[in-house]
Amino acid sequence: MSQLVPPHGARELKPLLLEGKQREEERSKAQHLKKVPLTSRETSDLIMMGIGAFTPLEGFMGGDDWRSVCDDMSLKSQPGVFWPIPITLSAEQELADSIRLGEEVALWDAETDTLMGTMKVVEKYSIDKEHECKQVFRTTDPAHPGVQKVLAQGPVNLAGPVKVLSESYYPEAFAGIYQRPAEARRIFQERGWSTVAALQLRNPMHNSHAYLAWIAIEVCDGVYIHQLIGKLKPGDIPAEVRVRAVDALVNKYFRKDRVVQGGYPMEMRYAGPREALLHAVFRQNYGCSHLIVGRDHAGVGNYYGPFDAQRIFNEIPPDALVLRPLCMDWTFYCYQCGSMASMKTCPHESTAVIDENGQYRGGARLLLSGTLLRKLLTEGKPVPKEFSKPEVIAILKDYYDSLQEPVEARRHGDATAPTGAGP
């Protein structure tokens, strides 16, 4: 009997990915079905359903579920099941009009022209895009990358159960990192773990991230460093570079029996608090009992308060999730303490001053941020040794040196805001 937390909203994982003979038969049938193109976000959501990460979903949401998730963070079709962000598929009007209710369609990744799955269309409906943006992102500002995606959706949503036929390029491109929930659970069980803390990463792992992981290991059996390998906004460091950087740090500075690395294919929505809850939902499906929630978790720019993603866990019903948050304060390197510290532990309040050559010139707290790291590397400036391990800095420097054109370091109006553990 497993001692891990149960999957979300179900006794067992519900992967929708077909394999073997079933998959080949469905692929053959799909060649004769009407094509429905998927955006990169819809493709990644389909894969998450396929591998069981979005248990207990059975397909793209209908209108009642869309409204209920936006307004109440719950599934109308599965009473009592918590869900924080709509998982929907949109289409252009002409295509939607050509599809009959009850008709099966083939789902194709529009970017790679790859057959990804099939769906039985049981509902067609329109949504209030501004309402979704207000509820999920707390803004309708089209400069917000998640809002951009919603506003760009087709005018009609298609809903119905899906059969997933492909995991795209992830298993091959990220071999050894890409994991299905069942695979992660098997590793945790083999190690005898019952409490597992997930560390969400969308940035290279600097010393603040490592510090939070070490704290989590002190209170849990182990830490699951779970990297996003899906699509990010322009300017973010590519997944393959981040994976190499994290691997270099973990292999040298962590006990191997206390850490597991994994990667998941979801695309970032940058929805701040609501996305933190979605991260919690699928981390529970991966077998994690806790989620490290740091400063500005899943945020972007100045759309969310630094600890909004922590507070939202106190605003949902206590039985919404089995997984619990590990809420962490701002972390930084303190030159007066001579170590990593947090706002809760460090009494020295002055900000550290670093000159153009990366040399310390006074003050205490060096706030470590992925944004500032990108800025320094983009501008070719020295990175203070307290920022991250030399193996990580070397990999990132090689990446930036290889670029033909400069990468924009600014995070939607805020070039220097520290990102804490945010991910």
Q: Which two tokens stand for residue 47?
A: 């894969």
Q: Which residues are catalytic?
A: 202-203
Q: Which tokens sit at 414? A: 């805020």
Would you call 139 helix, strand, or coil by DSSP? coil
In angstroms, the CA 416 to CA 301 distance is 10
Phi, psi of 414 (to 5 degrees): -145, 95
Sheet holding 324-327, edge to edge: 259-264, 222-228, 196-201, 290-293, 324-327
Q: Please check whether residue 167 is in contact with residue 51, taking contact to mean a CB–CB distance below 8 angstroms.
A: yes
- Cα 117 from Cα 46, distance rounded (Å): 8
Check: CB of residue 162 under 8 Å from CB of residue 117.
yes
> Within its chain, how far is the Cα of 295 from the centroid?
15
Please say whether the beta carbons of 294 and 331 come within 8 A: yes
Which residues, other chains included, contact 366 with Cβ-Cβ below 8 Å and sequence gap of 6+? 332, 333, 334, 335, 352, 354, 384, 386, 387
Give the residue from 83, 269, 53 showing the smallest Cα distance to 164: 53
Q: Dihedrals φ, ψ of 333, to 5°? A: -95, 130
* Amino acid found at 381: K
What does the alpha-carbon distance between residue 113 and residue 185 come to, in Å, rounded to a whole number? Answer: 32
29: left (phi over 0), alpha (psi -120 to 50) or beta: alpha
**Residues 149, 260: Cα–Cα separation, whole Å:** 32
